[in-house]
Structure 1
Amino acid sequence: MQAPVTLLVHGGAGTLTRVDLSAAQEREYRDALGQALRAGQSLLLQGGTALDAAVAAVCVLEDCPLFNAGKGSVFTHEGRNEMDAAVMDGATGQAGAVAGVVAVRNPILAAQAVMQRSGHVFLLGQGAEAFARAQGLALEGPGYFHTEHRWQQLQAALAQNQVMLDHDGQHHQALPGADPLDRKFGTVGAVALDAHGHLAAATSTGGMTNKMFGRVGDSPLIGAGTYACDDTAAVSATGAGEFFIRGVVAHDIAARMAYGRLSLAKATQATMRDKLDATGGRGGVIALDRHGHYKLAFNTEGMYRGVVQGHAQPQVAIYRA
């Protein structure tokens, strides 16, 4: 029996507790996650592909300034917004990624275009920008990506000579006047299962506040922050990227399923334990298999997350249960 179409999203993990968010702020985040889930769900229920559904969900989150992706991206040391994104199609094994783009309104669309139209997997910086322009993707000036909240984050980080790992709470303590919402990893992502039993993953991020020029995290690296294979799982990660790169976290979950014959839940649990907990890495993953089994796992106090299956209403959560 075919599993119901399924979509999972995340919008960042970190030191998130109920005292940090006002009722209005919590409602904004929940509404945005719900909107992303409904956008992807609508496509899946119309027979759309897992890839298109995952990309549609991520586009909603990129357009929302609450999340560290697209419009809400954080600033580099030089005061620029440099964005990374990746997609992978579990049915074909094809993937596409961009890194260091500064003008692409929706970097996830550029990653999808790289996969489908370039003949390559990964385009960087000016080359990625030129390709996006040639493909007719929407471009924006620096003002579109400039949000005052993110700018103040950079000023605080510069004053303390700190690099904030996607709003890492450990650095928050050293930043006077920092907002509690800075204590989260803001990468966004989605994984989807379509009516044909195919999987896909999509991830997008603005990276780290005050990051060095040229730094690339795990999100656009296939196997680290993004991975999909119909035989195992679709995975999208959020967290301290260097740990996800070293642990090849997204692929490690799939590998434990393929070679160790572990279930999705057990594979995810083992990877979180061995590749993140054991090394001091912080963050989370969303993972989904072709049977509709899913896992939203994180080792922080909270993670913006949500799931929808079939015709059901989207379910969203922020805090640890």
Structure 2
Amino acid sequence: MSTSHWAIAVHGGAGTIERRHLRPEQEAAYRAALGRVAEAGGVVLRAGGSALDAIEAAIHLLEDDPLFNAGRGAVFTARGANELDASIMDGATLAAGAVAGVTRTRHPISLARAVMERSSHVLLVGAGADAFSKANGVEQADPSYFFTERRWRSLENFAKAHDLPVPPRPAGDHRPDPVHALAHDEGKYGTVGVVALDISGNVAAGTSTGGTTGKQWGRVGDSPVIGAGTYASNAACAVSATGTGEYFIRLGVAHEIAALVEHKGLSLQAAADIVIQDKLTALGGDGGIIAVAPDGQVAWSYNTSGMYRASLAANRPLVVGIYKDEP
């Protein structure tokens, strides 16, 4: 792709996403949502805002949209809770922040940014992360806010299929899910992420997820792990990943792509394809990434049947894709 003064790419998860699985109205809903998210980030970047600000604004929309497995659309753990993970990284300074297993923060990406900017740490987890969130004035939400009926039914089906007990239905005022009829179960790969390049030449990346349905024992995937699910460096690129987190952690996928760009001089697309199509596939993992480089290159690569994705740049129109046979 040609270079540009600013650029943004968005993903809404990879997985078993094929034309035969989505009704026309479902496909239209996902395309519209991805377009809105990319445009929201573009508004920030056009106005000279930072890549970090664009990422936070865009992921807020994804975390508020029950179509996606993040924030209000998050899946349930085996014990019937929503445990949220997120991370963010600044390519200009290599500063990073991440949280895992949070339960009371409306926008986990904002909490990850607060960890990056208001603490001396990179990763906070569980009750400590929730306490830090409240103490630092990050917007709170009752756990019932994250409840959606379709995700609860997914947990019930998972528990029955794996001979696990179905936990008690969470208490609280569960509001109607406005997209219940439109949402598609992307499988176990649901995550959202955004990468951006601002007009100052800085890149950044952010990722947010509810994890996997029925996860147990405090399982944490790659989304809050810097270098696995999220990485950004002005010396190379910014990457956000989605997929089977255990494999992304073992390969250090996001950093591996950046290392190939920085140290091998590969194009962004070539680096992404080597890691996703070759290394990840050979290991038995599946999923995908979005990436942006300081020179304006934008790339995505995935080895699943589909990935919800979009990109927008100063000199390029909005592109939205879902299936393998799209650009």
Please classify the TM superposition score into its range, dividing by the shorter chain length: over 0.9
Q: 1:254 aligns with which of 253, 258, 261?
A: 258
One-letter amino acid of the structure 2 residue matched with residue 213 of structure 1: W
Summarize the alignment of residues 50-65 of structure 1 with structure 2, pairs less than 5 Å apart: 50-65=51-66
Summarize the alignment of residues 220-231 of structure 1 with structure 2, pairs less than 5 Å apart: 220-231=224-235
Give the structure 2 partner of residue 193 of structure 1: 197
Give the structure 1 partner of residue 15 of structure 2: 14
Give the structure 2 partner of residue 280 of structure 1: 284
> Distance in 1 between the 2:3 and 2:71 partners?
35
Residue identity over aligned pairs, in percent, reads: 52
Moved more, 33-42 or 190-199: 33-42
> Distance in 1 between the 2:58 and 2:140 partners?
19
Is 1:74 aligned with 2:78? Answer: no
Give the structure 2 partner of residue 46 of structure 1: 47
Q: Deviations over 1:41-81 (max 9, x none)?
A: 00001110011111111111000001000000000000000
Give the structure 2 partner of residue 90 of structure 1: 91
> Distance in 1 between the 2:35 and 2:187 partners?
22
> Distance in 1 between the 2:163 and 2:67 partners?
22
Give the structure 1 partner of residue 138 of structure 2: 137
Contact 1:15/1:184, CA 8 A, preserved across alignment: no
Contact 2:89/2:230, CA 8 A, preserved across alignment: yes
* SS in structure 2 at match of 1:204: strand
Give the structure 2 partner of residue 170 of structure 1: none
Contact 1:36/1:61, CA 8 A, preserved across alignment: yes
Moved more, 311-320 or 71-80: 311-320
Report how far residue 13 of structure 1 moved. Answer: 0.6
Structure 2 unaligned residues grouped into runs of 5+ = 165-182
In the superposition, the TM-score normalised over structure 1's length comes to 0.92
> Distance in 1 between the 2:6 and 2:205 partners?
14
* SS in structure 2 at match of 1:3: coil
Report how far residue 3 of structure 1 moved. Answer: 2.8
Give the structure 1 partner of residue 110 of structure 2: 109
Summarize the alignment of residues 160-239 of structure 1 with structure 2, pairs less than 5 Å apart: 160-161=161-162, 181-183=185-187, 185-239=189-243
Q: Deviations over 1:63-116 (max 9, x none)?
A: 000100000000000000000000000001100000000110000000001001
Pairs aligned (count): 306
Report how far residue 315 of structure 1 moved. Answer: 1.7
Give the structure 1 partner of residue 311 of structure 2: 307
RMSD of the TM alignment (CA)?
Answer: 1.6
Q: Deviations over 1:244-292 (max 9, x none)?
A: 0000000000111222221211111111134311011110000111111
Give the structure 1 partner of residue 100 of structure 2: 99
